[in-house]
Amino acid sequence: MNFKKSEELFSEAKKYIPGGVNSPVRAFKAVGGNPVFMKGGEKALLFDVDGNKYIDYIGSWGPHLFGHNPPFIKKAVLGTAENGTSFGAPTELEIRMAKLITELVPSVEMVRMVNSGTEATMSAVRLARGFTGRNKIIKFEGCYHGHADFFLIKAGSGALTLGVPTSPGVTPANASDTLLALFNDIESVKSLVAANKNEIAAIIIEPVAGNMGVIASRGDFLRDLRRICDEEGIVLIFDEVMTGFRLSPSGAQGIYGIAPDISVFGKIIGGGLPVGAFGGKREIFNQLAPLGPVYQAGTLSGNPLAMSAGYAALSYIAENPGIYRTLEEYSGALEDGFRENLAKLGLGYQINRVGSMMCMFFTNKAVTDFASALTSDTALYAKYFHSMLESGVYLPPAQFEALFVSTVHDGSLIKKTIEAHFNALKSLG
C-alpha cells in the first residue's frame, strides 16, 4: 500500500501537535511506523487520504456499533444542526435521552450528561467521595478510566501501551488516595478494605476490561465486589464507557446481573460524537449540584448535536434488540475463524472475547488479569498489525486494546478478515 500523503501529513502535524496526534495511541508508537490519516468511513469500511480501503475493527474505539455513518444517526444530527449547535441552556432532547438511559439500564435512576468518558469517571468518583465523606478509592491494575490524575496508577489503554501506566505529573498526594487491587482477585480487594477500614469511598472497575486487551470478570468476582460494597458502605462504580450498550441493552451489568451504585457511559451514547454520562441511585445523585453540594458542571454538557446522535443510537437499540444476535453471530464467526487458523498453524496464542469485543494475545498463557496480559509478545503483535494493515484490515495499533465488531461486519468481510489473519500469522514464521 502507498502511504505517501499520510506520511506528509504526519510530518506536518508534528510541527504543531505533540507527537503529531491528539491521542497518544494513534501515533503507532506501540507498533512502529507512522499513523494512517483517514478521510472517511462507510459501514464497516475506512478510507485513508491515499485512497486505501480497510475493514475497520476499531470503530472509533467502540462507539460505531452500527458501523460508520449510519443514515439514521446522520439524519438526526443534520436535522438538529439546522436549529443550532449549542445553547448553554437545557433542551427537551436532554430529558428524552436521560429517560431512555434509565429505561434501558435498570440500576440508573438519575443521570448527568458530560462530554467524555474521562469527565464522567472523574465526576463519578467525586460524587462517591462527597456522598460517603471518604477519600480513598480502589481501582484495578490494568483498568483504564480516563486520564484524571487519580486514575493513572497502573492504568491500561494508551498508558499501558506506551509504558507509562503511572504518569509523570501525578502528585504523590493524589496517588496516595488510589489503592490498587488485582483484577479477578477478590482477596486483594478484601485486604485493601480491611487495611483501610471506613476510608474507602468507591470501588471502580471495568466489568469487562477493555484496556489491557479484553478480559472478562470470572466466576463470582463481581458478585463478591457487590457484597463487600454493601457490607462496608462503599459505592460500587461500573465503568461501562466501552461495554455500555455494546454487550447488551443494559451493558455488562445486564450480562452479569449485578447492579452497581453508579454507572459510567460514553462511546455509543454519543452515536460517534463526543459525550459521556454517569448515572445511578437517586439518593446518591441528590448530592450532585444544583440539588446538593457536590459540584460538577460543563458548558457543552448535553450538547444538542451529541444528544441527537446518542438518542438516535439508543432508540435504535431499544427498537431493535435483535442486533445483539447479529453481533454475536458475526463476532463468533470471527473468533471461530481465528481459532481455526491458530490450530492449523499449531499456535497457542490466546483469544479473549466477550460479545462484540475481542483481543488476540501473543502468549500461550491464559490471560485473566494485568500480569498475564503483560506476557504477550508486543513485538510480534506489531509485525502482525502491519501485515494485517497491508492486507486492508485496520486493527488497534496496540496489543492492549480491544477490537470491535459492528452490525455491518457481514459474512464476506469476516471471511476476508480470517483469510488475512491466516496469512499474517503464517508470515510471522
144 classed as catalytic: yes
285-342 tens-digit pLDDT: 999 999 999 999 999 999 999 999 999 999 999 999 999 999 999 999 999 999 999 9
Annotated active-site residue in 185, 239, 261, 369: 239
Instruction: For the chain, count helices (H), then strands (E).
Output: 15, 16
End-to-end CA distance of the chain: 22
Coil, strand or helix at 232:
helix
Is 267 a known active-site residue? yes
Select which of 144, 324, 349, 384 is catalytic.
144
Instruction: Report the predicted TM-score, pTM, of the whole model to 2 decimal places.
Output: 0.94
Sign of CA dihedral 326, 329, 335, 337: negative
Establish whether 336 is a catalytic residue. Answer: no
Asked if residues 270 and 310 have their Cβ atoms less than 8 Å apart, the reply is: yes
**Out of 19-28, 90-99, 161-170, 349-358, which region has the weakest mean confidence (pLDDT)?**
161-170
pLDDT of residue 162: 46
Enumerate the domain spans of the chain.
71-319
Q: Return the CATH number of 71-319, one of 3.90.930.12, 3.40.640.10, 3.40.50.740, 3.90.950.20.
A: 3.40.640.10
Beta strand 357-361 pairing with 350-354: antiparallel
- Closest by CA to 238, choosing from 220, 218, 256, 214, is 256
Residue 167 — pLDDT band, cuts 50, 70, 90?
low
Which member of 139, 267, 311, 324 is catalytic? 267
Sheet holding 38-42, edge to edge: 38-42, 45-48, 53-56, 393-394
| Lowest mean pLDDT segment, chosen from 156-160, 211-215, 423-427 | 156-160
